[in-house]
Structure 1
Amino acid sequence: MYVITSDQRDSRSSADLVPAAVASVRAHGGNGLALAPERTAGDEVQVAVGDADALLAIVLDLTRSGQWSVGVGVGEVESPLPDSVRAARGEAFVNARDAVDRAKKAATRVAITAPDGGADAEALVRLLVELRDRRTAEGWEVYDLLAEGITQREAAERLGISEAAVSLRVKAAGLRTEEAAVPALARVLARLSPGPVPD
């Protein structure tokens, strides 16, 4: 199983982002959540995830704003699962704590701790996060429109710019690179999980 422990950066000098993060994690995790996200200690959000696609979607969403240090722990959890993530225990939770502590010191604000293969997965996820960190506001504007499932032509119409200008934004933002990398990364992350989510 995967456990994400995320800590709000500079929380003493900024607004409480935990409620919005919990809602966003729920939305991006969908049916892949094993235990619902909750505020844990202070300005932390913790969630247990049973699906690699959901895991990656949550990690990419949390790292996008630059306001969260995101630790991913992989490993066994005690079974049966409790009703609350705050009551759950196991190797994945210990590894998530290690990962979030390391994420706080990383430029890309993310780390992965796993029994085997975590370093490779972490390096690849960090590459993708670094690519996204370089994206301009215009690039994100196109990203968000295309994420709705519309075409580049439709995005151009909405933005009031030419289709060629949209294509340039897509290229500069590395959107096609990310599009190819996400499913490959999800497969790498899936290989880290020790087995099915316990009942």
Structure 2
Amino acid sequence: MYVITADQRDSRTDRDRAGDLMRALNSNFRAAFVLPPDQTAGDEIQVMIEDAATTLDAILLVHRTDHWSIGLGLGAVRTPLPASTRTAAGSAFIAARDAVTRAKRTDTRFALAAISPEAEPSGLEARTREPHDGVTHDREAADLEASALDAADLESLIGMLLLLRQRRSPEGWQAIDLVQTGLSQADAASRLGISTAAISQRLKTASWRAEQAAGPALVKLLTDLHRRTTETDPAA
């Protein structure tokens, strides 16, 4: 399962934005949520999603608002599911908690963590468990360490995309928002009262094609990490 925990930035001096964000998420992704987005500890929201593509799109939506630190956790969720996201539990939620805490210290305000099903439910300290007899880790700790390294790599790649997006100009976003609705560049240019060459330049400056190419690749990497994080050894 993919769990997103988002913690509102500057919540002590800003209004509560959780309601706005949950409405935006529901408007765009309602059918993909395992349970509806939920407000948890005051200025936090949690989202539980089953597919990587929706997860990445949801992260991009939340990040664009520039009001949230975002933690993405990959792992298991205890079943049967409760009635609300806020009462759900499992390693995916532990991972998301670890990630959102780290996200507050990153340039992109995003972090990712993954925990295998075999990890202790007490937390992420299993990553640094001492070797048995000073020789080797047990299978669970070794699997978790490998998964954590993969998660760090993927966090860096997603972070690069987020940095690209947060440096995009308002004019670049204006052009992208129009072409994302299905308008041709010519129609988008007409809507903005500029030339086709001008909107093409806006899209180029905004690295629109680079983002379009990166998205599917990141979804594949997320899907693969999720599979390796949640699968168990049949012989165990």
| TM value normalised by structure 1 | 0.95
Aligned to 2:216: 183
**2:177 equivalent in structure 1:** 144
How high is the sequence identity, in percent, across the aligned residues?
46
* Structure 1 range deviating more: 141-150 or 90-99: 141-150
The equivalent residue for 1:68 is 68
Residue number in structure 2 paired with 1:37 = 37
Any gaps of 5 or more consecutive residues in structure 2?
Answer: 116-146, 232-236
Q: Give the CA deviation at 1:121.
A: 1.4
Q: Secondary structure at the match of 2:108?
A: coil
- The question of 1:174 aligning with 2:203 is answered no
Task: Give the deviation of 1:111 after TM superposition.
Answer: 0.4
**1:1-199 equivalences in 2 (<5 Å):** 1-115=1-115, 116=147, 117-194=150-227
Q: CA deviation at 1:15?
A: 1.6
> Which structure's relative contact order is higher, taking Cα pairs within 8 Å and 6+ residues apart?
1
- Per the TM alignment, residue 61 of structure 1 is displaced from its structure 2 partner at its CA by 0.7
8 Å CA contact retained: 1:71, 1:112:
yes
| CA distance in 2: counterparts of 1:62 and 1:95, whole angstroms | 18
Give per-residue Cα distances to partners, 1:57-98, cap 9 Å, x unaligned.
010011112110000010011011112011111000000000
Aligned 8 A contact 2:172 2:202 in 1: yes
Aligned length: 196
Q: C-alpha separation between the residues in 1 aligned to 2:36 and 2:153?
A: 27
Distance in 2, Cα, partners of 1:25 & 1:103: 20
* CA displacement at 1:183 relative to structure 2: 1.0
**Structure 1: distance between partners of 2:222 and 2:27:** 20
* Unaligned runs of at least 5 residues, structure 1: none
| CA RMSD, Structure 1 to Structure 2 (Å) | 1.2
Distance 1:125 1:177 in 2: 13
Which residue identity lines up with residue 179 of structure 1 in the other structure?
Answer: Q
Which consecutive segments of 4 or more residues in structure 1 shift more than 4 A? none
Q: Which of 1 and 2 has greater Rg?
A: 2
- 2:30–2:36 Cα contact (<8 Å) kept: no
How far has the Cα of 1:55 moved from its partner? 0.3
- Superposed CA deviations along residues 108-152 of structure 1, whole A, max 9, x for unmatched, are 010000131211210111000000011000000011111111111
For residue 224 of structure 2, what is the amino acid of its counterpart?
Answer: R
Could you state the TM-score of these two structures normalised by the residue count of structure 2?
Answer: 0.80
Deviations 1:30-65 (CA, angstroms, capped at 9, x unpaired): 432112101100100101110101100010011112
Distance (Å, rounded) in 2 between the aligned partners of 1:179 and 1:27: 22
